[in-house]
Structure 1
Amino acid sequence: MNQIDATLWSRSLRALFGEGMFAAVGARRRDDWRLDALDVMQLRMDDPRGWSKVAAAPGGSDYGTGPDGPFSAVTPGDFSTAFPVSRRGAEQILVTLQGDWFQTEDIPDFDAREAELTSDARTILERFGEDALFFTNAATARENPHADMFRREGAYEGFTSRVMDCGVIAVSATEVGIFWGFTID
């Protein structure tokens, strides 16, 4: 694994996450990572390294922490629909968030861009180290955490109040990252 810094992180984050998306990291402070993930989702903590985040609602405004935030109604019990996924699968899901319906066929010029997008996803997840765990709400991972997430069914366990959402939760011994995309309601 490569050592990444704030500049490389920011470049990869900008390449993969834009309007209508969410990418933020917080400190892992509790044994139950779900509580820390919830704090990150609801923007109740800052990035422990001071690195950039993306919390851009459709139209360019910031996702707030109030009732309009995409994760405002999420509770620790909702994490039962977050299924373990391999690192490769987590990278692939980060890439598929580029498509309107989180599928590769909805990503403009995917065949030409696949290697670059995958490299950016790998960079983002490298931050969490080799021992990190990854979770997703993509239903394919429920049955097979090692499935090819580029070729998965388009079924998701709703994690937010949005019509459709998909994402990855990255958990290390010291940090929790939330990387999520939403369809426009």
Structure 2
Amino acid sequence: MDTAKLNAIVTEYNRRVDVLVPQLDALIGPLDEAHRSAPMFEAQEARAEGVGMRALNEFKTEHRWTNPEDTKNGVYRIDLASSAVTDPYEKRMRIMTQVPWENTVQRLLEDVYTFAATGPRTRAGWQRDALAVMNREVDDPRGWIILDWDKGNEQRTESRPCYPFVPLSEEGLGSRLYPVTAETTARLLVEMTYEWGPVGTEEQTRAALVDARAVLHRYGDRISCYSNVTEARKTPSPDLANGITGWNPFTEFIGDFGFVVVSSEEVGVFWAFDAR
């Protein structure tokens, strides 16, 4: 090993480093200032949250949840189904929440003999899913309210959990239902409120339709609806001005009508009964 040569290399290395030390020392101040000026993660996170909060209202048109014509008269009805919203972002953000939905359902149906329940949509098909709701086999997937007048009825037995509905197969269910539009479905919900119709005044009808559309809004914009009213046999948009005049029976009562609403995630069953 050439020790003398190695020592010479080390000496030259130390000489060059010693020359650089004063230059590096002179940079300590500017480097510290740069370190202090660099944004911290916490600061950037706070900035992002601030921008997010502003985005809720400042970067888009804020939706009015009340009708200006109502508020002028001291009425503050929340219009969750207003057709005045045209902004696509705002439409996506209009998510029905539990308390307003439950209040609306109760306002429409609590005083009339009805069944209103929702179950999950499965791969078994919407007919099977609807029967599961009628048979009380499933709970509301969101844990929201269910209106079931016959929950404690002793006529509901293990052999007939679907009471007051008659036992049906999937084919039997499908054969008694006709496709209807979402607007017709909302009108059917209003008919339930007025116990088979005809409905009340124009103002009462308008208010009830707002509520009915709000109930359906839970299921989203892409829904399929089916009803047993015979007026829908020829058209999915029948004229219901004279109330419900015919139906394919789902019970042994003197009359019953309703609808099934199907979304990609849920199946709702809403039914009214005339047990006189």
Normalising by structure 1, we get a TM-score of 0.87
Match of 1:87 among 162, 173, 182: 182
Name whichever of 150-159 and 115-124 sits farther off.
150-159
Answering whether residue 98 of structure 2 is matched by residue 27 of structure 1, we say: no
State the shift of 1:62 in Å. Answer: 3.9
Answering whether residue 136 of structure 2 is matched by residue 71 of structure 1, we say: no
* RMSD of equivalent CA atoms: 2.0
**Secondary structure of 1:121's match?**
helix
**Secondary structure of 1:43's match?**
coil
Answering whether residue 133 of structure 2 is matched by residue 43 of structure 1, we say: no
State the shift of 1:150 in Å. Answer: 3.5
- Gaps of at least 5 residues in structure 1 are none
Residue type at the aligned position of 1:28: R
The answer on whether the counterparts of 1:139 and 1:155 sit within 8 Å (CA) in structure 2 is: yes
Runs of 4+, deviation exceeding 2 Å: 61-68, 109-112, 147-153
Answering whether residue 230 of structure 2 is matched by residue 139 of structure 1, we say: yes
The answer on whether the counterparts of 1:96 and 1:150 sit within 8 Å (CA) in structure 2 is: no
Aligned to 1:98: 193
The answer to which structure, 1 or 2, has the higher relative contact order (CA under 8 A, 6+ apart) is 1
In the aligned structure 2, how far is the partner of 1:63 from the partner of 1:9? Answer: 26
In the aligned structure 2, how far is the partner of 1:110 from the partner of 1:174? Answer: 36
Answering whether residue 97 of structure 2 is matched by residue 5 of structure 1, we say: yes
| Distance change >3 Å, CA 48–CA 15, structure 1 → 2 | same
**Secondary structure of 1:97's match?**
helix
| Distance change >3 Å, CA 21–CA 153, structure 1 → 2 | closer
**Secondary structure of 1:129's match?**
coil
Match of 1:120 among 201, 211, 215: 211
- Gaps of at least 5 residues in structure 2 are 1-90
**Which has the larger Rg?**
2
In the aligned structure 2, how far is the partner of 1:47 from the partner of 1:154? Answer: 31
Q: Which has the higher helix share?
A: 2
State the shift of 1:163 in Å. Answer: 1.6
Q: What percent of counterpart residues are identical?
A: 28
The answer on whether the counterparts of 2:178 and 2:226 sit within 8 Å (CA) in structure 1 is: yes
Counting matched residue pairs gives 178
CA offsets per residue over residues 21-40 of structure 1, 9 Å max, x none? Answer: 10000001124210010000
Normalising by structure 2, we get a TM-score of 0.60
In the aligned structure 1, how far is the partner of 2:105 from the partner of 2:129? Answer: 21
Aligned to 2:21: none
In the aligned structure 2, how far is the partner of 1:42 from the partner of 1:150? Answer: 32
**Secondary structure of 1:30's match?**
coil
In the aligned structure 2, how far is the partner of 1:39 from the partner of 1:27? Answer: 9
